[in-house]
Amino acid sequence: MKDGEPQAGVAARIIVCDDDPDVLDMVSEFLAGCGYQVESAANGAELRKLVPSFRPDLVVCDITMPGEDGLSLTRWLRAESSAAVLMLTAMGSTTDRIVGLEMGADDYLAKPFDPAELRSRVKAVLRRTMAPVNRQGRPPARMRIGKCVLDVETRQMFDDEGEQVPLTAMEFDLLYVFITHARRALNRDQLLELAHHRRWDPFDRSIDIRVARLRKKIEVDPAFPRILRTVRGEGYMLVPEGE
């Protein structure tokens, strides 16, 4: 595994959409070689069909395509998906880049491009859009937590096969507190207060039981948790992947 590439079992999902078969194959194979889960679409219709089932974290999309172009697809993705968008643009097409960014694209890359720059842009976009907490202090609509992906808006969680992972209301509330207070140790009383479950006794084992259940769902090895850690004498702390 190269430095900075995703770890096994936590790879982001990417769809590459381009009508040029050579570019489509090259970009798809390159990103798959970087460790990402990759699907390809030769046009807008194929992309629209793939998105609901694959639930991508990022779509790498060419702007200029016959039929539905990348700008229209970006607008659709913003309305129907929480995926980030990296646009591929023709060299010098400043207007397209500006319009694309205004429509909600997260970044752009001009053709022809160096694969190393593509990898850097993809990593930067994913780091920004899948971070536990964004710059406004609120989590993104969809984010990776350990070996799962959490959809904050629908309060649902999915594994890497796309299967829904059952999540109770209390488990979601706790997970949301950990996400919005990442890297901070929280004791039982604080967790109950922040999760708005003050009626519970902070000295019982309910929190510990639910943390254990969350670990079974999100940790690669629940016996040695890397994401939801115990801080001796203080409580529990969520540590974003890779830290």
Q: Which of 65, 97, 129 is the last residue of a domain?
A: 129
Q: Which of 95, 129, 163 is the last residue of a domain?
A: 129
Over the stretch 158-193, which tens digit does the pLDDT of each residue have?
987 888 999 998 899 899 889 888 888 888 888 877
On whether both 91 and 181 belong to a single domain, the answer is no
d(CA 190, CA 239): 17
Greater pLDDT, 103 or 23: 23
In a domain, 119, yes or no: yes
In a domain, 8, yes or no: no
Range 77-99 burial, b when 16+ CB lie within 10 A, else e: beeebbbbbbbbbeeebeebbee
Helix, coil or strand: residue 3: coil
Over the stretch 66-94, which tens digit does the pLDDT of each residue have?
888 888 898 888 777 778 899 988 755 66
On whether both 105 and 152 belong to a single domain, the answer is no
Is this prediction's pTM over 0.75? no
Phi-psi region of 155 (alpha: psi -120 to 50; beta: other; left: phi over 0): left
d(CA 182, CA 185): 8
d(CA 229, CA 164): 24
d(CA 47, CA 55): 11
Pair of tokens at residue 50: 């793939």
Bond prior to 202 in cis (omega within 30° of 0):
no
